Structure 1
């Protein structure tokens, strides 16, 4: 590891090869959805570390901050851990640089990227538009280069104001209970839609707003969906070593991303069970000659046994043995009962074996 002060010094030196490899695989494995979002995620850590951050508005307030670019399904396409200031130098326009770095591999593909006011600025959206990337986000009205719009005192609920630039940017202001400022490089500020709001008495009413705001509210929660899926069955292991938390965070992220690619679709719990079973299958099959039985790891139906493919197709450990005479699991049916003297020693499933019967071979071939 390079010494502190060296040009190649990296606070994530221990994990850097792992992080680069896994981030490359995330981008290689799946083409992202058209709608994407950039936001912050947190790795919980309460110990002492120079890269630990404090974000009071996040559910996890203390830990490592991770920049995430995720698509609408919750697939985390790009992740990067924030390591803080280098040599105590103040980093200007940090949010802009994060979005620009993340959007390098989606240039010219007309993706729609959404983010909050920490990242957005007129310069950023102008640069993204030149690279054929649609972008939309809330914006702080005190940002430079923004035009003056109506003040809050001049506006009532459901009122709006907007302005456009000669570079194709639109600035919109909508008054609800509070004022909302939006910045977009592809929305038409004159297009309107309706949203539902509640009155003080609890009744609902329809109010009109910019279509850009409705689009933003629908697609900005991509990273939140990723965090939600990752946190349901999170690998929560306490450790004094700073890199343990980071390592397990990316392992959980890998499981969530793999779930989005899984066909047919299944629940996250069943998918994690399937991963665990596939990982321990070689060891389970190797126990065939010992007293320990596989029956506790296999799920049986009332009619026919159901052995997972990971067990059924594992290596050549499956050998025939003679138990009591039972109905064949492959060719026997209610109309025609076919009994056999043979059973698989690993799967514990009765199967026909003979010159004219190939149930044993067929059952372990597909």
Structure 2
């Protein structure tokens, strides 16, 4: 098969397509879905490397994701520079349309931030029997000026409808918040905050509840991450898909359908490793009882105080330095390990010399 080398992602495309196909076949998303981007940290030379100061990893490979509210990644696409645009949509709008194409015409609600949202995207989704809700940039084309240029005080809200189904809403909290929605009006609900009761638009409440899905997915995938600095870029994408995104998805499915206690990311990873290693991983060798005359000395950590490491001078180093006439109190090694039987602090070398 001939490979198209003009496509910079050709080395990883087949793996992405295969895994995304699996993700889509294993789980049916609920009514609300979320689109946003994530970053895979990469500082090497790469044509598609991007900079995003709002992310924890500012430099790296940008990945567009479609997630559910419970953090399941259903669609995954690598940013590869210029691409074909849908007629009537800008580039961010085209990304949204591509990611959620199999889920359109089913009455779902799409949540997106102000990088993706626009009036043409709202019209496109509405024509495909889907709704859009998200924050909005005030310089987008086709917005009502009496909303975007209105001056509001804290708690005030103003909204107008466009084409009888697109609501453009502006609400002032700590600052102005501009929203677009095809499934909300200007209704407001009282919510409790740390400052007390306050009125908040329903569009803002639903956006906040749903948008956290992809943020939680990124947070979970960062725990116990297997990514290494020395990996080439396409290997980093492969590791991200196989050992971060896929593991988070497995955890989401298990916790949603299992009647047992929810698993943490570490527990999920341990279960996967045990399954891959087979039955031998679950067999533990019984501890051999200490025989007569066998040393029971063992190096262990000094008990912590207020969850802080406790350090002491190595007993053997201290004794040696005193015999040599050296200032032992300042030169002896500081360690946080001691012999479990002697209750004396030892560094590893001294422990091996004295007890082994």
Q: How high is the TM-score relative to the length of structure 2?
A: 0.73
Q: 1:295 and 2:276 equivalent?
A: no
Which consecutive residues of structure 2, in runs of 5 or more, have no partner in the other structure? 288-356
Aligned residues of 2:147 and 2:168 also touching (Cα < 8 A) = no
Which consecutive residues of structure 1, in runs of 5 or more, have no partner in the other structure? 199-203, 286-292, 299-366
Aligned residues of 1:67 and 1:81 also touching (Cα < 8 A) = yes
CA RMSD of the aligned region, Å? 2.3
Q: Structure 1 residue 267: deviation in Å?
A: 2.2
Q: 1:1-366 residue pairs with structure 2 within 5 A?
A: 2=3, 9-85=6-82, 93-150=90-147, 154-189=151-186, 191-197=187-193, 204-251=195-242, 252-262=244-254, 263=258, 264=260, 265-281=262-278, 284=280, 294-296=283-285
Aligned residues of 2:157 and 2:171 also touching (Cα < 8 A) = yes
Count of residue pairs brought into register by the alignment:
276
Q: Structure 1 residue 39: deviation in Å?
A: 0.4
Find the residue that maps to 1:137 and give its secondary structure: strand
Q: Structure 1 residue 266: deviation in Å?
A: 2.1
Q: Structure 1 residue 240: deviation in Å?
A: 4.5
Q: 1:271 to 1:297 in 2, by over 3 A?
A: farther
Q: Structure 1 residue 35: deviation in Å?
A: 1.6
Distance 1:172 1:86 in 2: 32
Q: How high is the TM-score relative to the length of structure 1?
A: 0.71
Aligned residues of 2:138 and 2:148 also touching (Cα < 8 A) = no
Q: Deviations over 1:317-353 (max 9, x none)?
A: xxxxxxxxxxxxxxxxxxxxxxxxxxxxxxxxxxxxx
Find the residue that maps to 1:155 and give its secondary structure: coil
Superposed structure 1 runs of 4+ greater than 6 Å apart? none
Distance 2:48 2:145 in 1: 39
Quick check: which one's helix share is greater? 2
Q: 1:208 to 1:49 in 2, by over 3 A?
A: same
Q: 1:244 to 1:188 in 2, by over 3 A?
A: same
